[in-house]
A = this chain, B = another copy of it.
Amino acid sequence: VRLALYGFGNVGRALARMLAATRAPFTVTALATKGHGAVVDSSGIDLPTILAGTDLPLRKAPPIASLPADVLVEMTPLDPIAGEPALTYLREAITAGMHVVTANKGPIAWAYRELDALAKKNDRMLRFEATLADCLPVFTLRRAALPLAKISAIRGIVSSTNNHILTAAAAGVPFAGALAEAQHLGIAEADPRNDLEGHDAAAKATILANVLMDADLVPEDVTREPIDERAANAARAAAQSGDRVRPVIEIARRGETVAASFGPRRLGPLDPLYAVDDFSMGLIFETDLAGRVVVQLHDPHVDQVAYAILTDLLEISAAGTMPRP
């Protein structure tokens, strides 16, 4: 299976290292960076050479449709939630007969129904495990472990930065210091308001509602309360009586509609989200056939984003679907 890697930042480089180190059945035939050019080689690019920092021969990547690849792996830098140019890349690739894997939540939050329909029409696979919470099993879990089950509600923590800030606050660290640390570690979004005001969480809640609960939300439909000084103070106070304040998304079906919210919530120790500490993430699914199922990913790093992409690629490979027409 031939891959075109679009975007070669921290995630792209982690994926390249993982592809080089594992026996995954893939050949990278195209690679495009933001500011350091591109390379296309239908016989396969040597990833260790690229990772060592060689100059790339092309100033710009050729048009997506012309690339000798079966899958576009879309990892371009995050735009502020809205989804471009990633959305355009995904449309181009699917229309050109490529499967697509994206790490960008914008296109899925804003245009899941359109992209899903386009992929089905072209008999291509659309995968986006990394958009939600690194390699926390979400969409893979749905397909493999929750088939036919109806999900009536989802509750969870999907914002590492906010959870880190409230975890630090519980230990007495001031709000500004905890935010600065998340930024220093490269975990926070470029504009911290995307995290703190819940835009990032709202995009993720939208994806969960639309993909797993057949809703038709846009991120603005998600009610948001900020993670701020006041929430940090509440976290510190809660910790003194053994509770935690965590940044929680809540999605629930109410009759014909699905409602979603984000905000700081106080939890006791027997809540499955209590132990989702610091940069960890977790989700609780309320279902009919499977009961209440919980997944958590603890202390993830950038490798866990790359691994989510790898699991998507392995599913495409295992499906043995036809190469590009």
Contacts and interface: CB of A to CB of B under 8 A. Distances in A.
A145 B132 CA distance: 14
A289 B301 CA distance: 10
Interface in A265-305: 269-272, 274-275, 277, 282, 289-301, 303-304
Contact of A294 (B140, B291, B296, B301): B296
Contacts of A289: 18, 22, 135, 303-304, 307, 310
Interface residues of A, number: 45
A307 B271 contact: no
A295 B307 CA distance: 18
Contacts of A298: 272, 291-294
21 contacts: A23-B148, A24-B148, A135-B289, A135-B291, A137-B137, A137-B141, A137-B293, A143-B144, A145-B311, A147-B310, A242-B269, A270-B274, A271-B275, A272-B296, A272-B298, A274-B275, A275-B275, A289-B310, A292-B298, A294-B296, A295-B296
Interface of A: 18, 22-24, 135-137, 140-141, 143-149, 242, 269-272, 274-275, 277, 282, 289-301, 303-304, 307, 310-311, 314-315
